[in-house]
Amino acid sequence: MRTRGSSEVHLTYAEAGVDEPREQEALKGMLDLLQSTYSLHKGIGSPAFPIGHFSNVLDMGAGLGLVLTTDGVGTKLVLAQMLHKYDTVGIDCVANNVNDLLCLGAEPVAMLDYIAIDTIDEKALVDVARGLRAGAELAHISIPGGEIAQVADMLSPTRGASTIDLVGSAIGIVSLSGEREDLPPLVDGKKVAPGDVLIGLLSSGLHSNGYSFARKVLLNQAGLRLDQYVSELGRTLGEELLQPTFIYVDPVLGVLKKRLAVHGIVNVSGGGLLSLGRLPTDCGFLIKEIPPAPAVFRLIQRHGSIPDADMFAAFNMGIGFCLVCAKDAAKPVIHEIASHGYRSIEMGKIVDEPRGKIVIEPLGLVGSGEVFTPA
Amino acid sequence: MRTRGSSEVHLTYAEAGVDEPREQEALKGMLDLLQSTYSLHKGIGSPAFPIGHFSNVLDMGAGLGLVLTTDGVGTKLVLAQMLHKYDTVGIDCVANNVNDLLCLGAEPVAMLDYIAIDTIDEKALVDVARGLRAGAELAHISIPGGEIAQVADMLSPTRGASTIDLVGSAIGIVSLSGEREDLPPLVDGKKVAPGDVLIGLLSSGLHSNGYSFARKVLLNQAGLRLDQYVSELGRTLGEELLQPTFIYVDPVLGVLKKRLAVHGIVNVSGGGLLSLGRLPTDCGFLIKEIPPAPAVFRLIQRHGSIPDADMFAAFNMGIGFCLVCAKDAAKPVIHEIASHGYRSIEMGKIVDEPRGKIVIEPLGLVGSGEVFTPA
């Protein structure tokens, strides 16, 4: 059980709507109950791991591992509603799910969508489907089913356009034992070791995280309008904020299918680069290169007078996805990624430090758990 | 893409919150877009059917079919919220999903849960997990992952307790080609033929459908209170309305594993017995026996002065699940179901009538599509 809420709003910004310790406590109780279900299904389809990483894996027999995940779009949907523009959030929905599947090395196969809506708005629904279709095309998946729930009583009153919640649940496939040459090999992160290289793939913008925080700073505090042209963005604020999340299927499967020595895969989502700490490895990360933060992050930081430490714990800051690979695989990995039209950089290396400790040397930040602090 | 909204509120009760033709129109546009994704994934995991029935099936190779479905609990959650009682809706969540998987003959394997919540309420979340755990136990599935989205901006303001949306997505397995003896055989409904027998399994109450309608009649129109003891129910109204949906896994898998001649399987959900029309067969249904409607349905009917035709199109009226089987399989099927502690009756037979025509002889009702009318 993961939480999107905690990923959406920064820790030190409890007033923005998240009460982190209480959430963690509830989460613990839920996890205990849900983990007790792992032994309830016998035979084909038993969970292969005790605890979920980014996704879990079921053993389907014959070396086939089935990876399952579910994720929604979160409060990026509030912006879609404010702008009456629903044709891209479907891409985010697909991206959030398939990017999580990739973290176990899985080839995404299919996704189901769930849409909660207050009142039926044909145009909004068809536009959502347009985005889902576009995302499915980029991820090479089918969307063989879904559900629309008209539950006005449960959703917030309309802001002049339909209130919509959009959630996906997706499956992917891996070779569990390594014997299936038709499938990418399972990457569970346990091979990550000191000396490995950290490669970061550039993001398209905010992706789907930090939106409650961004909205609070840019709209409520700074008083910017979504239809306002912002010269440093080169477009309106609304256009920037609805920029769809990158779908990393092509470059990552390209790398995996070439059997390059990838040891760990991380979707940079809630908590930004702190997501690296989700790798189940007793190592730290030393980041020596980081690209300049894209304009949208600088805009948020300036208007909110937000320290670097808080920005990096709330946003991806330009890096949307990471691969950890063996030292000599770094160049071919970056080359393969580029061949699919995605940019990546060698950010640093894996070091012999306590689990999940992340040093961003150029900015003097040290992170672990859910916070960065100045070194 | 199915809709829960349309299933929740009766057609002639547009004022209760559903605008059916508009919904159908939107649905058509979405379906066209989503069906165009079926060809996007090549190789293992391609959809086996052009259009979803209750669930869809992906061909995983080696005769293994993977059945996927997603469903939420709908506005039954509003009652849980009004009563501050969240420990049973998890059972409904599991039931709605696994009962749909069963419609293709699938053995349920696992479910992921998605919880949207306004403000974190540890007790509510742990109670939701308790229900999920109880449901998982009855369905023999694991819950290997999930997501909590704290999205206060998207949910209706709190009614003194947390606003929660609860959705599941589940997978099950079948033998696609019939050659896998370790798996139940795929039941796609195409073998249903005149002369077959219709068997109905009793429901536990409203299950998860018709709640917006029931609430409107019982609470708004009749002015009943949820904490009110209703003698004909033998308990409070709130207790009755939160009665968990039956999980039919044990009796249905029992029947399937004995390889009894089951030709069609129907989860009676939105639209009550009109759900029979979802079987992809060019036959009609002649119902000659129907059990007396349980007390909760009579209560709703009396307080709302609702004709039988409308009751049967909105509620399950006591029959929660149906099996269509060969004539000589009827007795052993009913016997097998009873051996798992579930009650069922032989309701009638399949007849050579236009597709989806349903005659309920004892009540003089004829139904098809989304309405029943007096004969």
Q: In the Cβ-directed half-sphere of B352, how many Cα atoms lie within 13 Å?
A: 1
Q: Is residue A265 part of a domain?
A: yes
Q: What pLDDT shows up at residue B51? A: 54
Q: Domain check: are B147 and B239 in the same one? A: no
Alpha carbons B205 and B315: distance in angstroms, whole number: 9
Average pLDDT over chain A, rounded to an integer: 90
Q: Domain check: are A265 and A337 in the same one? A: yes
Q: What pLDDT shows up at residue B10? A: 25
Query: What percent of chain B has a predicted confidence (pLDDT) above 90?
Result: 75
Give the best residue of B11, B142, B158 to mutate against chain A (max A CB count within 10 A): B142
Position with higher pLDDT, A347 vs A177 = A347
Which residues, including other chains, have CB under 8 Å from residue B74's CB and lie 6 or more apart? A149, A151, B4, B8, B208, B209, B211
Q: Is residue B86 part of a domain?
A: yes
**Residue B180: CATH number of its domain:** 3.30.1330.10
CA distances from A33 to A38, A341, B115 (A): 10, 44, 15
Give the best residue of A156, A183, A219, A247 to mutate against chain B (max B CB count within 10 A): A156
* C-beta separation of A337 from A344 below 8 A: yes
A-contacting residues of B 38-57, CB under 8 Å? 38-47, 52, 55-56
User: How is residue A189 annotated by DSSP?
Assistant: S
Least confident of A22-31, A216-225, B342-351: A22-31
Find chain A residues with C-beta within 8 A of B153's C-beta.
17, 75, 78, 156, 212
A130 touches B: beta carbon within 8 Å: yes
Find chain B residues with C-beta within 8 A of A145's C-beta.
1-2, 52, 55-56, 68-70
Q: Is residue A198 part of a domain?
A: yes
Alpha carbons A5 and B264: distance in angstroms, whole number: 42
Inspect the interface and report whether the beta carbons of B154 and A140 lie closer than 8 Å: no
Q: Where are the alpha helices (DSSP H) in chain A?
A: 5-8, 20-35, 76-82, 89-102, 122-139, 211-215, 237-241, 249-257, 295-304, 308-314, 330-339
A156 touches B: beta carbon within 8 Å: yes
Please identify, among A186, A215, A238, the residue that sits at the C-terminal boundary of a domain: A186
Which residues, including other chains, have CB under 8 Å from residue B147's CB and lie 6 or more apart? A1, A2, A3, A4, A70, A71, A72, A167, B112, B113, B114, B115
Amino acid at A61: G
Q: Quick check: B310 pLDDT over 90?
A: yes
Q: Domain check: are A120 and A206 in the same one? A: no
Mean pLDDT of A53-61: 79
Q: Domain check: are B142 and B245 in the same one? A: no
Q: Domain check: are A169 and A196 in the same one? A: no
pTM: 0.94
B320: phi then psi, degrees, rounded to nearest 5: -100, -15
Euclidean distance between the first and the last CA atom of chain B, given in angstroms as a whole number: 32
Give the best residue of B8, B35, B40 to mutate against chain A (max A CB count within 10 A): B40
Find chain A residues with C-beta within 8 A of B41's C-beta.
108-110, 140-142
Instruction: Please give the torsion angle defined by the CA atoms of residues A23, B142, B137 and A151, in that order, rounded to the nearest 10 degrees.
Output: 60
Tell me the count of A-B CB pairs closer than 8 A: 347
Inspect the interface and report whether the beta carbons of A129 and B29 lie closer than 8 Å: yes
B373: phi then psi, degrees, rounded to nearest 5: -135, 155
Mean pLDDT of B178-195: 92
Q: Quick check: B119 pLDDT over 70?
A: yes
Q: What is the ipTM of this complex?
A: 0.92
Q: Domain check: are B252 and B354 in the same one? A: yes
Min Cα distance A141 → chain B (Å) is 5
Query: What percent of chain B has a predicted confidence (pLDDT) above 70?
Result: 92
Find chain B residues with C-beta within 8 A of A60's C-beta.
60, 64, 173
Summarised one tens digit per residue, pLDDT across range A231-268 is 999 999 999 999 999 999 999 999 999 999 999 999 99
Q: What pLDDT shows up at residue B292? A: 96
Find chain A residues with C-beta within 8 A of B175's C-beta.
none
Q: Domain check: are A101 and A170 in the same one? A: yes
Which residues, including other chains, have CB under 8 Å from residue A331's CB and lie 6 or more apart? none
Q: Domain check: are A244 and A368 in the same one? A: yes
Position with higher pLDDT, B188 vs A11 = B188
Average pLDDT over chain B, rounded to an integer: 90
Mean pLDDT of A26-50: 84
Q: What pLDDT shows up at residue A275? A: 94
Tokens at B295, concatenated: 């007390």
Q: How many residues does chain B have?
A: 375
Find chain B residues with C-beta within 8 A of A147's C-beta.
1-4, 70-72, 167
Tell me how many degrees the CA angle B185-B191-B197 measures, rounded to the nearest 5: 100
Inspect the interface and report whether the beta carbons of B153 and A25 lie closer than 8 Å: no
Amino acid at A292: P
Q: What pLDDT shows up at residue B217? A: 97
Q: What pLDDT shows up at residue B18? A: 46
* C-beta separation of B116 from A165 below 8 A: yes
Alpha carbons B268 and A281: distance in angstroms, whole number: 48
Amino acid at B70: T
A104: phi then psi, degrees, rounded to nearest 5: -105, 10
Which residues, including other chains, have CB under 8 Å from residue A185's CB and lie 6 or more apart? A105, A174, A175, A178, A256, A259
Q: Is residue A2 part of a domain?
A: no
Mean pLDDT of A111-135: 94
Alpha carbons B156 and B107: distance in angstroms, whole number: 36
User: How is residue B272 annotated by DSSP?
Assistant: G
Q: Quick check: A14 pLDDT over 70?
A: no
Inspect the interface and report whether the beta carbons of B126 and A182 lie closer than 8 Å: no
Mean pLDDT of B194-209: 98
Q: Is residue B26 part of a domain?
A: no
Residue B23 banded pLDDT, cuts 50, 70, 90: low
Q: Which domain holds residue A210?
A: 189-375
Q: Quick check: B294 pLDDT over 50?
A: yes
Tokens at B145, concatenated: 């992952």
Q: Domain check: are A194 and A175 in the same one? A: no
Please identify, among A151, A186, A221, the residue that sits at the C-terminal boundary of a domain: A186
**Residue B334: CATH number of its domain:** 3.90.650.10
Alpha carbons B249 and B273: distance in angstroms, whole number: 20
Find chain B residues with C-beta within 8 A of A128's C-beta.
30
B122: nearest CB among A4, A25, A167 = A25
A146: nearest CB among B62, B70, B122 = B70
Q: What pLDDT shows up at residue B178? A: 77
Least confident of A19-28, A112-121, A343-352, B5-14: B5-14
Please identify, among A186, A203, A236, the residue that sits at the C-terminal boundary of a domain: A186
Q: Domain check: are A257 and A336 in the same one? A: yes
Summarised one tens digit per residue, pLDDT across range A264-295 is 999 999 899 999 998 988 999 999 999 999 99
Pairing of strands A365-368, A358-360: antiparallel
The alpha carbons of chain A give a radius of gyration, in whole angstroms, of 20
Q: Domain check: are A151 and A282 in the same one? A: no
Q: What pLDDT shows up at residue A10? A: 24
Inspect the interface and report whether the beta carbons of A52 and B128 lie closer than 8 Å: no
Q: What's the sign of the alpha-carbon dihedral B318, B324, B328, B334? A: negative
B154: nearest CB among A55, A77, A126 = A77
Alpha carbons B202 and B344: distance in angstroms, whole number: 6
* C-beta separation of B56 from B49 below 8 A: yes
Q: What pLDDT shows up at residue A16? A: 37
Q: Which among A91, A336, A369, A331 is positioned nearest to A207, based on CA atoms?
A: A91
Q: Is residue B232 part of a domain?
A: yes
Least confident of A149-163, A278-292, B56-70: A149-163
Q: What residue of A is the nearest CA neighbor of B134?
A: A37
User: How is residue B96 annotated by DSSP?
Assistant: H
User: How is residue A216 annotated by DSSP?
Assistant: I
Amino acid at B273: L
A4: nearest CB among B3, B33, B149 = B149
Q: Is residue B8 part of a domain?
A: no
Q: Which among A97, A85, A18, A98 is positioned nearest to A240, based on CA atoms?
A: A85
Q: Where are the alpha helices (DSSP H) in B270-318?
A: 295-304, 308-314
Q: What residue of A is the nearest CA neighbor of B6?
A: A150
Q: Is residue B24 part of a domain?
A: no
**Structural domains of chain B, count:** 2
Q: Domain check: are B147 and B241 in the same one? A: no
Q: What pLDDT shows up at residue B3? A: 56
B148: nearest CB among A1, A66, A182 = A1
Find chain B residues with C-beta within 8 A of A136's C-beta.
37, 40
B-contacting residues of A 175-234, CB under 8 Å? 182-183, 212
Least confident of A36-40, A314-318, B281-285, B350-354: A36-40
Q: What pLDDT shows up at residue A29? A: 84
Inspect the interface and report whether the beta carbons of A154 and B149 lie closer than 8 Å: no
Alpha carbons A251 and A233: distance in angstroms, whole number: 27
B4 touches A: beta carbon within 8 Å: yes
Position with higher pLDDT, A366 vs B281 = A366
B29 touches A: beta carbon within 8 Å: yes
B77 touches A: beta carbon within 8 Å: yes
Alpha carbons A168 and A145: distance in angstroms, whole number: 11
B23 touches A: beta carbon within 8 Å: yes
Summarised one tens digit per residue, pLDDT across range A61-109 is 999 999 999 999 999 999 999 999 999 999 999 999 999 999 999 999 9
Mean pLDDT of A40-51: 80
Task: Give the start-end residues of each E strand in chain B.
Answer: 2-3, 46-47, 56-59, 64-72, 107-117, 142-150, 164-175, 197-202, 229-230, 235-236, 262-267, 284-287, 319-325, 344-351, 358-360, 365-368, 371-374
Summarised one tens digit per residue, pLDDT across range B240-292 is 999 999 999 999 999 999 999 999 999 999 899 999 998 988 999 999 999 99
